[in-house]
Amino acid sequence: MEILLAIILGAAFGAVLQRIGATNPNHIIDMLKLTDMKLAKTIFMAIGLASIIVFTVNAISPQTVHFSVKAAYLGVLVGGMIFGIGFAVGGLCPGTSLSSAAEGRKDAVFFIIGGLLGSWLFAIAYEHIKTTDIYRTSLGGKSALAEGVFRHGHEYNAIFGFMSGTVTAVVIGIIFIIIAAKLPNALRKED
């Protein structure tokens, strides 16, 4: 049942990515150049709505949603920078590359192969890398924006300890929706 659900949700996600234009690397690169912000507006709206819905469902029915807090460490920053460079150069990310390949784009296939190769190289080097400072916990280790939204009684350092997790998520969701509504279609003109 889990595999069937994953296939259905994955297909739906891919269809949405295709529909909003995220499978076209040019749209993503235009967004990163700030010349076409329609995709960014969609992303802000989706994050805002999902934040409100997921945290509200969790408040009504705890244990429905699984939240996993990852520890902060230098490797996250390094990995994020590598991911960002690949995203800017290729105009794709893992999800959009699979949907783009399903559309028949050959460049997406090469992007996927590169991602798999990078993952394989990381797996080979992992035993050595995990003993270096890049995996040393920093910035408080496991921290969350707010408290009270985790399973199994886990509590983490809360940045906004004065608000519940649900209130924090709804406020952030509303802010993202407002940004989506107010963001212009372009922040700069095409060169």
Q: What is the pLDDT of residues 19-39, one digit of tens each?
A: 888 899 999 899 999 999 999
Q: What residues contact 175, with CB distance under 8 A and at least 6 apart?
A: 48
Residue 138 lies in a domain: yes
In a domain? residue 187: no
Q: Specify the number of domains making up the chain.
A: 1
**What is the pLDDT confidence band of residue 189, given thresholds at 50, 70 and 90?**
confident
What pLDDT is attached to residue 133? 80
**pTM of the entire predicted model:** 0.77
Burial class of residue 48 (count of CB atoms within 10 Å of its CB; 0-12, 13-18, 19+): buried
Helical ranges in 64-105 per DSSP H: 74-90, 94-102
Is pLDDT above 80 for 108?
A: yes
Domain housing 96: 2-182
191 within some domain: no
Instruction: Round to whole Å and give the CA distance between 131 and 153.
Output: 30
Q: Which of 122, 86, 96, 78 lies closest to 39 in space, CA to CA? A: 96
Residue 160 has pLDDT above 90, yes or no: no
Q: pLDDT digit string (tens) for 122-132?
A: 999 989 888 88
